[in-house]
Amino acid sequence: MASGNRRVVVTQRFFDQATIDYLEAAGCEVVQADLPPGQADGNLTHVELRERLQGAAGWIVGHARVTRELLADLPDLKVISRRGVGYDRVDLNAARDLGRVVCIAVGGNHESVADHTIALMLAVGHRFRQTQEQMIGGNWSILLGSDLYRKTVGIIGLGRIGRSLVRRLSGFEAEILTCGGHHDAAYEDGAGIRRVGLDELLAQSDYVSLHAPLTSETRHIIGWDALVKMKRTAFLINAARGGLVDDEALLKALQMGVIAGAGLDVYLSEADAAFKPVTQALIELPNVIATPHSAASSREGLDRTNMVAARSVVAVLDGGDPAAECIVADGRGK
C-alpha cells in the first residue's frame, strides 16, 4: 500500500458507515464536510470548497463544480471521485493538465434511477398528484389516467440506465423505440427494441424518457420543435440531465396542452440560477410530477455508489488504477 497523504474529504450527504469503514481500513482519514441543512455541495462556492478540501488527497464529490481554478488551489488533491455517473461539472482538461484522476461511480445507481423513472411514468400517467390534491380538498371524484401497459416508450440513451429501464418495461409489455447513441444491434434485436429516427420516436411514443449524457450534441435535444412533434397525450420523462430539455419550451408546451404532462427529476436551474423561476413554474403545474434530482438517492443506490466511488479513491492513493470504466480523466502521465 502506498504511504503518504490519505486524507479523503466527502462533500456528499448520506455517506454510509460501511463505506467509511472500508476507507479507514485502507488507511484513509475520512473527513465529512459540514454542510448546512438542505444544502448540497453544488451550492458551495469556490472559497467554501477550497477551505473544506485543503490538504485532501481524495475527494468524493456530488454536484460541486470542479474548475481549473479550484484544482490549482488544491495541489495535494490526487483523485476526484464522483458519486454518480455524470461529469459535465468537472473540467476534465484541467484535471489532465494538472495531473489529477477523475472517476465516476459506474454501476452503482442505474437500477435506482430506472425504478424512479418507472415511478415518474406511473405517477404522471395516473395523475396521482392531481387526484391526491383533490382528495385533500374533499373532492373524491375520479380523474381518468393513462396506462403504461402496452404503450410505446421512446428511450433516448441506452446505457446502463436505459437498459435497466428496458427490463422493467418488459413487464408492462411496452413497445420500445430508441434513437441516437451507440447502436448495439444484437442487444436491441434480442430485447425487441426498434431503432428509429428522433422525429419518428417523438411522433409515436406515449412516453419519451431521456437517459443520454449531456454533450454539445444532446443539449436541448428536447426543445419546442421536438415537443410539437410529440402526441398531445404523451408524457416527457427526464431523470438524466437538465440541459437535455429546454425548460422554457417545456413550460410553454405544458401550459398550452402540446403534451399531456411531464415527470422531472432534473432542471436547467441546477446549472443556471437564472432559470429558477422557470423551474418553480414547472413544478407548480398540476400535470407535472417533480422530484429534486433524487432519482439515484435510494438507500441501496447510495450505498452502492458510495462504495464504487471509495474504491476508485483507494486505488489511486495506493498507486494503482481504478476500474477502467470508472476513469474519465487521468493526468498522472503528465
Active site residues: 241, 270, 293
Cell digits of residue 97: 493538465
Cell digits of residue 137: 380538498
- Sheet-wide strand order for 58-61: 29-32, 7-10, 58-61, 79-82, 101-104, 327-330
Q: Hey, what's the torsion of the CAs at 48, 109, 200, 125, to 10 degrees?
A: -90
Cell digits of residue 18: 460501511
Side chain identity at residue 145, one-letter code: G
Cell digits of residue 304: 452502492
d(CA 126, CA 146): 6
Identify whether the C-beta of residue 58 lies closer than 8 Å to the C-beta of residue 316: yes
Side chain identity at residue 215, one-letter code: T
Identify whether the C-beta of residue 308 lies closer than 8 Å to the C-beta of residue 106: yes
- The bridge status of strand 261-264 relative to strand 235-238 is parallel
Identify whether the C-beta of residue 70 lies closer than 8 Å to the C-beta of residue 48: no
